[in-house]
Each structure stands twice: as C-alpha cells, then as structure tokens.
Amino acid sequence: MNEEEILHYFRKLLSDHPDTSAAIAAMQTMLECIQRSTAETLIELRKNLTSVRDTLTRKSDGPVTTISSGCELFVRFITLTSLEHSNFQDCKTILIERGQLFLKRTKESKDKIAKSSHTFIRDGAAILTHSRSRVVLQLLQEARNHNKRFEVYVTESGPDCSGERMHKKLNEMNIKSTLILDAAVGYIMEKVDLVLVGAEGVAESGGIVNKIGTYTIALAAKAANKPFYVVAESFKFVRFFPLNQRDLPTEFKFTSSTIRDKEDLHAEHPLVDYTPPSLITLLFTDLGILTPSAVSDELLKLYY
Amino acid sequence: MDPEGKGPPNRPEQSDKAKLKLQQRAERKEAKRVEKAAKAEVAKENKEVKAVGKEAKETKGKEQSKAKSKEVVQTQTSERTRKYSFSKDVSRLPQNIQVDDASVRKKVSKKLEKQNVPERKASDRKVGLFSHLYLYEKSSLKQFTSELQLVNSPIHPAIIKLGLKYAEGRISGSNARCVAMLGAFRRVIVDYKPIDIKSGARETEFDKRKTELDTILKSCISYLGQCRTKSLSMGNAIKYLKDKINSLPSDISVDEAKKRVVNSIDYYVQRSITLPGSEISNLVKGKIQNDDTILLIGYSSLLRKIIIDAHLNAQKRDISFRVIVVDSRPQFNGKVMLRHLVAAGVDCSYILINAISYVMKEVSKVFLSAHALLANGHVLAPVGSAQVALVARAYNVPVLVLCERHKFSERTQTDAFVYNELGDPDDLILPASKSRRPSIGLSSQRNNENLFLLNFLYDVTPPELITMVVTEIGPMPCTSVPAVLRMRQAEGDEPDDGDEPEDKSDDKREYKHDPDIVDYFAKCED
C-alpha cells in the first residue's frame, strides 16, 4: 500500500465510524496493510509497517501520541510469537490472526476499564474533567448504569473547544454537567471531589501526555488535596520518559501540518502538556488499577 | 548585703569543712544512684534475656517435637539462643556493620587468623551513632603491612599491591575498584599452581583444586576487606566469580579451567561495565538540549565518559551545553573531573558545594552517579549527592541518576547511618600553613577528648528527589529497581558456558577507549 492509499483508508475509517479512537483506526490500517502486502520476507514486512506508522504520524492530522504508541505496541504484540515457519504465508496468517486478536482486545479495553473502575465514582460525587475523552465518557456511562447520581464539571478546553462536545454528550446521557472556563479550574476545585481525565499517552515515568491544561488542573488538585485519576487503555503506554515540559518532542506538541507549514514554532500553541507522576493518584487501565510507579514495571513486562 | 563579703560572721574554716562534707555526701549519693541505676538496667536486661530465652526455648521445643532427628542440633541452638538472644536475627547482617558487638569482632579475628591474614587495627574513637562501623586510620597501615607475610603468603602480590592502593585512596570509585580487583584476581588465577593441601579422601582431584582456589580467594578477599571496606560492585563481582568457579565441569584439565574462568572475568567486565557505559551514554545523549547547563558532583568515570561523548555528539548536532562541576572537601574529586572535561574541550565551571543554591537557578539538569541503587528506590551515592538533589528539587530541576545494572542491590536502607563507610578523620584536618596559625584549627585539637571528627563517605537520596534513573536497559523511575532485580534473576547470567573458549585477545582492543580499564588490565599483564 502506498502513502495515499494508507491515508485514504485511515481517513475513511474515521469518517465512517466517528467514534473510534485514532489509534484503533491506525491499527486497522496496519492490519489491512499486512493483508495486502506483497512482501516475501519478515524484514520487508516490518519495513512496510514502519513506513505505515511514519505516514500516519507525519501526514495525517491525528493525535500523534496515541497513533505512534498504538502502532508500536501492535507490531510488538504480533511479532512476539514463534515465527519459525518455513512458509512465509503461514507466518503472515499468524501475524494477521494475532493482529485481529490485539484489535479485539483493544476494542474491549474501554469496557474493561469502565467495569473495573466505576466504583470510584460514589453517589453524590462532583467530578471535574478536562476536554473530551471517550474512555471517560464510557466510565461515566457505566457509573450512570449503576444508578449513581453525580455531576460533572467540564472545562471548555481551548483552542478547539472540545469540552463543549463533551458537555453535549454528557447531557445526552442524562448526566448533570456544567461547562466552565479553563481559567475557572482553581475556583471550582473546592467544589469537586475528584478529578478524572483521559490521556493521549502514558509515559514510562507514569506521567501522562494530555490536552494542554491538564498539568494546571493537576497542580490545582494537588494543592487542594483532591485525588487526580487518569483513565487510559494499555495501548497508550509510550516508551518515552520526559524530564519536564521542554523535553516533549515537537511531533507530540503540534499537528503534523503545523510542523510542516509554520517556520517559527515558538509562536505556536502546543496542543499537549506533560503531567509528572508525582501529581497523579491512580491510573485506571485495562491492565488493572495502577499507581504511577507501576506503569514502568508493566512496560518492562510488555517490552521484555 | 554585706559589702565586704565576709559571709556568716563566725568560723569561716568550719563553713569550708561543712562545704567539703556536703560535697562528699553529695558525691556518695551520686555514686549510689548511678550504681542503683546500673543494677536496675542489668536486672532489666537479664529479665529480657530470660524472657526471650524462654520464648526461644518454647519455639525450639515445638520444633523438637516436630523433627526428632534434629534433636542434638536443636538443643545446641537453643543454648545459643538463650545466651545471645538477639544475635540469631542479627547474625544475618554483614559483619562489617556490627563492629560494636564484641562477639562479632572476635569471630572476625578468628577467621582472619585461620586465613593467615593480619588484622588491621581499627580506631575506637568514634561518634556514637557510627560506632557500628569500622574506622581505619591511615596511620594503622604501617603496622598492618609490617605483619604481612610476604614469602609463601596465601595472598598474591598483585592483591597486596591492590589492597595498599585501596587503603591509600589511589584507586577509588565503584567501577575502578571493581575492575582493578577483577584484574588482580585474573592474575591470581593465571598464576595459580595446584599445591597439595590435606583434603577428604573422597574428594576428587578437581574438587581438591576448587577448595584450594577457594581458600586462596577467601584470604585475598579478607585482606582487601581489611584494607578498605568492599564496595557493592566488588561484592557482586566476587559472587559472580565464585559462581563461575563452582559451576566448572569436573572433567576438564586445570589449564582449561583457568582459561574459562579468565574468559568469564573478561566477559563480566565487558558486559557489566564497559558496554553498559556506552549504552547509557547513547541514551543520555538525546536528553541534552541546546543551551543546557548540567550540574555534576565530584568525579565519576561513567559521568566523565557520558559528558565527553555528549560533547562530541553536540558538536555534530550543532548545539552547545555547559557543565558546572561541584566539589567538596576533603577529597576534591571534582578537580580531577574538571581536568578531564577541560582537556576534552567541554565548557566548564567549578564551584564548591556551599554555592549550589546560588547556581541552581541556572541549572537545567543534574547528573548524579551512584555507588548502589537499593531495592526500595533509594540511591547510595558519594556524600553531597543528597544535598544537591534536595536543592535541585527546591528549584524544580530534574535529577538524573546514571548507573549500570550491576550496582543494583537487594538491600534496603532509608538513612545513611545503617550502612556507610567511615573515612580517615585526619583528612578533615587542613595541613598547617604559614598563613594559618597552628593554634587555631583542628590540628592542635586532635587529641582533645571532647572532640570527635566524623568523615563519612556515602549518603542516601530518597526516590522522591530523583526524576529518573538511566541504566543500560533504558530510563526508568527509581521505584522500578525491584522489577529490574527480578528480571536479572530470571535471565540468569550467562554466555560463555562449555563452549570452546575463543581467543578473547581481540576484545582487549575494545577496552582501549577507556583508559582506566586498559590501565588495570595492562598492569596485570605486566
């Protein structure tokens, strides 16, 4: 598959199913690429997959963090098996099977998280969340299904006002929700019982990369002694350890079109920021409910 | 009152005598009180001992009823537990941190006598809090060396040389000491000639040789321990060597066995020290950005390598960074680091540790080296590191610890008292100079009974102050040390087994870029 076909397929998936996460669409693209590939050796196949990943991270305008981590884990998972068959077709079949298994597990991960973590939302709780996250929505839906009464404060989350879409969705789910300004987080912090955010990527340190503004909310939560919970699927674990905000690579901070077109990136607003693990209480993942220090242990297990 | 201070008008002498009597009475009372207190303490202790002894007896009794065949052993141990009721738990501690326990010291002396190693006199004038550690003064070295048996000694001359270099501080630093020790052991093994010692009739020829070698190694290790307390890296290397020797198959010739052990030593140095050093350097290069200011403390061979590599890499990437070297008394190791870095062309500044809070706001990263990484995430590092980490935290500067995996330990420690090393207190005394009057200063107070000089060499940094640890398998938070230890146990340690020992002389060429290692290996080739 060449670049255009890849991008076309990817974008079609996203437009047909607007509710799928970009990472899942990326993984499906990769699976399709393996099926259509004309490679005759494993190394060539691997090269193809790497090029798919590069195309998706650099040319499509999707969230780079999730796509790159999703693709890397996908490749890791499918190749983490014995491929000692003499016939290449057999190997390919195995890879495709494992790819479908991984995809299935990933699609189910949101349900798994919702089922294991909804108990953290108690009756009468006030929750603060930031920007729009599908996993958080599913978690709240699950809590709602268990007849919990709670209310949600959503930040507007500029510059793309994704918080407004979250607010609309919550209203559709019959959950009481209030839209607040990003600047009002400090004001609202004494009213809320817990903070619940999604993540675009979970770093090896246990910290998260998420929509800009998350770090500020985490600082305010720490100062006000409110628990800060992160909900993230395991394919978002990234092999990457930032020391501070400056250490975030440019590909994560800006969309690929911005990097291509704009010359002086200093004037551009970064889209994400890094929240260090010391500010995070717990992470709800499909691998279990983890403390930030356990993330690194899990990553060691996944990668070794 | 009485302006002339005559006091009570009559009999001044009597008042003196009365005063004296009062004094004596008070003294006698004091003495009695102290005696009583002492007796009470002793009585309490005896009670405690008896109580624990009783408990121990009870538990021992239960065990006896369970395992009748072990009766004899059980009664013996129960006796022992009654006498030294706490030492059963305490015996698991290493002996070099139980110096205040007289029974442990006796055991150590006996062991040294058996191994034919002289015992170095340790000083007893220590601060109470550190009285459980050995304090060796350089002045005791002379007496120690005069007692060394130089002819027909169980200790190889390369080891004797090495020990003296350790004691005088000429070889210092975790990696350097480990490599130097392995180089000396290599020499011992190469020069080993089977001697006939008495052994059990059922032992095979091979086992005999193994026990001989074991005895020799034990004496060497004890001797090195007397010169200077073993470092953790040395301990791990010794464990590895002993494992290798014990796992040799019994059907090979002595020459073949020697070759294999020597190859294992070379392999260990390469796999645990040289290659991880390069790998860590690779991983850290990418973390250094343009206009970075990096803070280093003291001297570390690993950090030197990393900074010099990063400097070359920075020139390629067309970025620049500068380094601030922090130094402290009494060793002034930072000067050595400074010399190396300046020779390599790195942009450097030099400060003493008192000034760190002034410069910290300009610093973008702190690089620390570690002596050991403990299982609870704390870092044992040269003294001063905890201080620097604390100030860095206050200024929100990320702190990176750079450490190879062979320095990971299963020990846990939360303070710097339980395990530490006491250096020579005379190092703290500045030498007398013309500008400084000798009456002022510590040198004139050295024999003052009320003055104790404390010079300790390591401190412990908690994991909250550390941003990340970089090892050869990648970066990780400080709390992941147990996961890595588990991995190390799972992967075992091996390469090199039972295959034809290849000619490893090519590998020595790889060491050439690391002058320390080449030095020591070159010296043991002689």
Q: What is the pLDDT of residues B423-469, one digit of tens each?
A: 888 888 876 666 666 555 677 677 778 888 888 899 999 999 999 99
What per-residue confidence (pLDDT) applies to B133? Answer: 87
ipTM for the assembly:
0.80
- pLDDT exceeds cutoff 50 at B115: yes
What per-residue confidence (pLDDT) applies to B321? Answer: 95
Confidence label for B91 from pLDDT (cuts 50, 70 and 90): low
| C-alpha B317: how far from chain center | 40
Residue B19 CB coordination number (10 Å): 10
What per-residue confidence (pLDDT) applies to B58? Answer: 52
Averaged over B157-175, what is the pLDDT? 89
- pLDDT exceeds cutoff 90 at B141: no
Please tell me the distance in Å from B326's CA to the nearest CA on chain A.
22
Say which of A277, A292, A300 has its CB closest to residue B483.
A300
Q: Which residue of A has its CA nearest to B479?
A: A293
Query: How many residues comprise chain B?
Result: 526
- With beta carbons under 8 A apart, name residues in chain A contacting B365: 243
- pLDDT exceeds cutoff 60 at B516: no
How high is the mean pLDDT of chain B? 79
Q: Starting at the edge strand that comes first in sequence, how are the strands of the sheet with A150-155 ordered?
A: A176-180, A150-155, A125-129, A194-197, A228-231, A282-285, A288-290
For A82, the enclosing helix (H) or strand (E) is none
User: CA triplet B161, B162, B164: central angle to 5 degrees?
Assistant: 70
Query: Letter for the amino acid at B17?
Result: K
| b (16+ CB within 10 A) / e for B344-369 | eebebebeebeebeebbeebbbbbbb
Please tell me the distance in Å from A64's CA to the nearest CA on chain B.
20
Q: Starting at the edge strand that comes first in sequence, how are the strands of the sheet with B372-373 ordered?
A: B372-373, B379-382, B458-461
Percentage of the residues of chain B whose pLDDT score is greater than 70: 74
What per-residue confidence (pLDDT) applies to A303? Answer: 64
What per-residue confidence (pLDDT) applies to A250? Answer: 82
B interface residues, A as partner, C-beta within 8 Å:
287, 289, 365, 396, 398, 400, 464, 467-468, 473-477, 479-480, 483-484, 487
pLDDT digits (tens, 9 = 90+) for B361-413: 999 999 999 999 999 999 999 999 999 999 999 999 999 999 999 999 888 88
What per-residue confidence (pLDDT) applies to B509? Answer: 35
Say which of A246, A247, A293 has its CB closest to residue B477.
A293
What per-residue confidence (pLDDT) applies to B508? Answer: 40
Averaged over B162-182, what is the pLDDT? 91
pLDDT digits (tens, 9 = 90+) for B51-70: 555 554 555 545 544 544 45
Rounded distance between C-alpha atoms, residue B367 and residue B102, angstroms: 42
A273, A200 contact by CB (below 8 A): no
- B324 pairs with which residues across the strands? B295, B349
Confidence label for B213 from pLDDT (cuts 50, 70 and 90): confident
B294, B387 contact by CB (below 8 A): no
- With beta carbons under 8 A apart, name residues in chain A contacting B392: none
Give A100 or B89, the one with higher predicted confidence.
A100
Residue B12 CB coordination number (10 Å): 10
Q: Across the interface, do B475 and A247 touch by the CB < 8 Å criterion? A: no
* pLDDT tens across the length of chain A (304 residues): 778 888 888 888 888 887 778 888 888 888 888 888 887 888 888 888 888 888 888 877 777 888 888 888 888 887 777 777 778 888 888 888 888 888 888 888 889 999 999 999 999 999 999 988 889 999 999 999 999 999 999 999 878 889 999 999 999 999 999 999 999 999 999 999 999 999 999 998 999 999 999 999 999 999 999 999 999 998 888 888 899 898 888 888 887 777 777 777 778 888 899 999 999 999 999 989 999 988 888 877 766 6
Confidence label for B74 from pLDDT (cuts 50, 70 and 90): low
Confidence label for B279 from pLDDT (cuts 50, 70 and 90): very high
- With beta carbons under 8 A apart, name residues in chain A contacting B287: 243, 247
What per-residue confidence (pLDDT) applies to B84? Answer: 47
* Helix segments in chain A, DSSP class H: 3-16, 22-36, 42-58, 64-79, 88-117, 134-145, 162-172, 185-188, 214-223, 250-253, 256-261, 292-303
Report the DSSP pairing between strands B292-297 and B365-369.
parallel
- With beta carbons under 8 A apart, name residues in chain B contacting A278: 464
- pLDDT exceeds cutoff 90 at B284: yes
B381, B370 contact by CB (below 8 A): yes
Please tell me the distance in Å from A200's CA to the nearest CA on chain B.
20
Instruction: For tokens 């918080």, name the residue.
Output: A163
A233, A223 contact by CB (below 8 A): no
Give the contacts of B350 (CB within 8 A, at least 6 positions apart).
B324, B325, B327, B334, B335, B338
| C-alpha B365: how far from chain center | 27
Please tell me the distance in Å from A296's CA to the nearest CA on chain B.
7
- With beta carbons under 8 A apart, name residues in chain B contacting A239: 474
- With beta carbons under 8 A apart, name residues in chain B contacting A243: 287, 365, 398, 400, 467-468
Q: Across the interface, do B475 and A241 touch by the CB < 8 Å criterion? A: yes
A interface residues, B as partner, C-beta within 8 Å:
204-206, 239, 241, 243-244, 246-247, 277-278, 292-293, 296-297, 300, 304
Confidence label for B46 from pLDDT (cuts 50, 70 and 90): low
Report the DSSP pairing between strands A208-211 and A201-202.
antiparallel
Residue from B280, B480, B486, B491 whose CB has the most chain A CBs within 10 Å, to mutate:
B480
- pLDDT exceeds cutoff 90 at B344: yes
- With beta carbons under 8 A apart, name residues in chain A contacting B474: 204, 239, 241
Query: Dihedral of the CA atoms A24, A30, A34, A36 (nearest 10)?
Result: 100
Confidence label for B495 from pLDDT (cuts 50, 70 and 90): very low
CA-wise closest residue to B297 among B277, B325, B335: B325
- A201 pairs with which residues across the strands? A209
Confidence label for B524 from pLDDT (cuts 50, 70 and 90): very low
- With beta carbons under 8 A apart, name residues in chain A contacting B487: 300, 304
A270, A279 contact by CB (below 8 A): no
Query: How many residues comprise chain A?
Result: 304
CA-wise closest residue to A279 among A233, A231, A215: A215
- Collapse the DSSP code of B177 into the 3-class scheme (helix H, G, I; strand E, B; otherwise coil) and give the result: helix
Confidence label for B499 from pLDDT (cuts 50, 70 and 90): very low
B136, B164 contact by CB (below 8 A): no
Long-range contact set of residues A85-90: C-beta below 8 Å, sequence gap at least 24 = A88/A40, A88/A41, A88/A42
- With beta carbons under 8 A apart, name residues in chain A contacting B475: 204-205, 241
CB half-sphere exposure, A80, CA atoms < 13 A: 13
Please tell me the distance in Å from B475's CA to the nearest CA on chain A.
7
Whether omega for the bond prior to residue A159 falls within 30 degrees of 0, making it cis, is: yes
Q: Across the interface, do B480 and A297 touch by the CB < 8 Å criterion? A: yes
Averaged over B136-161, what is the pLDDT? 84
Confidence label for B151 from pLDDT (cuts 50, 70 and 90): confident
Please tell me the distance in Å from B474's CA to the nearest CA on chain A.
9
Q: Across the interface, do A296 and B477 touch by the CB < 8 Å criterion? A: yes
Query: Dihedral of the CA atoms B454, B456, B460, B461 (nearest 10)?
Result: 80
Confidence label for B200 from pLDDT (cuts 50, 70 and 90): low
- With beta carbons under 8 A apart, name residues in chain B contacting A297: 480, 483
Q: Across the interface, do A296 and B479 touch by the CB < 8 Å criterion? A: yes
Per residue, what are the HEC states of B246-297?
A: HCCCCCCCHHHHHHHHHHHHHHHHHHHHHHHHHHHHHHHHCCCCCCEEEEEE
Rounded distance between C-alpha atoms, residue A100 and residue A118, angstroms: 28
Size of interface A-B (CB pairs under 8 A): 45
Rounded distance between C-alpha atoms, residue B120 and residue B112, angstroms: 10
What per-residue confidence (pLDDT) applies to A304? Answer: 60
Whether omega for the bond prior to residue B330 falls within 30 degrees of 0, making it cis, is: yes
Q: Across the interface, do B476 and A243 touch by the CB < 8 Å criterion? A: no
What per-residue confidence (pLDDT) applies to B503? Answer: 38
pLDDT digits (tens, 9 = 90+) for B14-44: 567 767 777 777 777 776 776 676 666 665 6
